[in-house]
Every structure is written in structure tokens, then in C-alpha cells.
């Protein structure tokens, strides 16, 4: 189907949510998930100068109970958990992260695991010091392909209000 002759089609640009669009109590499911590969883990770990052998040394990690294999770097897991939410929640509407109140890794992530994320909007309020912006408190949960919670994070983000016409 095409636009009527002479008419320009309406263009829709993908973006995150304006402050007003965040619904307190709603859970946003972020798809697709992200499979964590060995190459991802080694690259992230070495880029961040983390020399932890549990991430880099297969021989060492294989001999360490209770997992007896390399673990995906927890900071890579956190970055991916938040990153999975960007397209749906904050792409183009985020001013900046204000901080993380909590971060947990209740179960390990291994090479080949797929991380799926969801975000619960805990609260929001307009900024008292920055007109046109609001603060949103978000609880992110990451589950592996088996539904096991492998990462949690609570953060506050500064988000733009919808521009007025």
C-alpha cells in the first residue's frame, strides 16, 4: 500500500518513552534476548582490565567448585540487562542515569546462556530542579533461557518530558 498521490507518508521514529508514558506498576518485557558468548565475555573482561581468572582462564575455572567452568563477568551481565531495555524505554528520551541502588546476581551466567530482561516501573516524579525532565525508578530483572533469575538491578533515570507543540 502506498500513500495517496502527492501525500508524504507519516514517518515514525523508534524512541523510548517520554516521562508521561511510564506507567508505575507496569512490567515491560524486552525482546529479543541476548545470548552471552565466550567472545563477548572475554572482550568485555579484557576491555575493562578485569583479570579475574574465573572469566578468562578455562583451566583454572574448570577446577573451581561449585561451577567448574568460566563465569560471565557480572558487570557485562549488568550492562546487558540495562542495555536490553534501551530501545523500549529510553532510546532518545534519556537524559542520564542517576545511579544504581541495587545490583544482584542470584545465579551464575555461563557462556551460551541467553539473557531475557524485563523492567518494573517502581515510581516516577517530575524533577524539582530540572524543568522538562522527570525521575523514573526502574527495577530490572534478567532471567536465563530456563527462567532462572540471574541478575537484578534497581536504578534511577532522568528522562525527558514530552515536548510541547
- Judged on CB neighbours under 10 Å (0-12, 13-18, 19+), 17 is buried
Q: pTM for the whole thing?
A: 0.91
Query: Percent of the chain having pLDDT more than 90?
Result: 90
Name which residue leads in pLDDT, 11 or 78.
Answer: 78
How many whole angstroms separate alpha carbon 20 and alpha carbon 87? 17
pLDDT digits (tens, 9 = 90+) for 77-129: 999 999 999 999 999 999 999 999 999 999 999 999 999 999 999 999 999 99
Total number of residues shown for the chain: 165
- In the predicted model, is pLDDT for residue 50 greater than 90? yes
Amino acid at each position: 500500500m502506498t500513500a495517496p498521490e502527492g501525500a508524504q507518508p507519516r514517518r515514525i521514529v523508534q524512541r523510548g518513552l517520554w516521562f508521561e508514558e511510564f506507567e508505575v506498576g507496569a512490567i515491560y518485557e524486552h525482546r529479543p534476548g541476548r545470548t552471552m558468548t565466550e567472545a563477548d565475555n572475554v572482550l568485555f573482561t579484557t576491555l575493562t582490565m578485569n583479570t579475574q581468572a574465573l572469566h578468562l582462564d578455562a583451566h583454572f575455572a574448570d577446577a573451581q567448585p561449585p561451577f567448574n567452568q568460566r563465569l560471565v563477568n557480572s558487570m557485562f551481565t549488568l550492562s546487558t540487562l540495562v542495555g536490553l531495555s534501551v530501545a523500549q524505554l529510553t532510546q532518545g528520551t534519556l537524559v542520564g542515569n542517576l545511579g544504581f541502588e541495587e545490583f544482584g546476581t542470584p545465579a551464575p551466567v555461563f557462556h551460551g546462556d541467553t539473557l531475557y530482561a524485563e523492567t518494573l516501573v517502581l515510581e516516577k516524579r517530575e524533577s524539582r530542579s530540572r524543568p522538562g525532565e522527570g525521575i523514573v525508578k526502574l527495577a530490572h530483572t534478567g532471567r536465563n533461557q530456563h527462567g532462572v533469575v540471574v541478575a537484578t538491578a534497581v536504578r534511577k533515570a532522568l528522562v525527558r518530558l514530552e515536548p510541547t507543540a
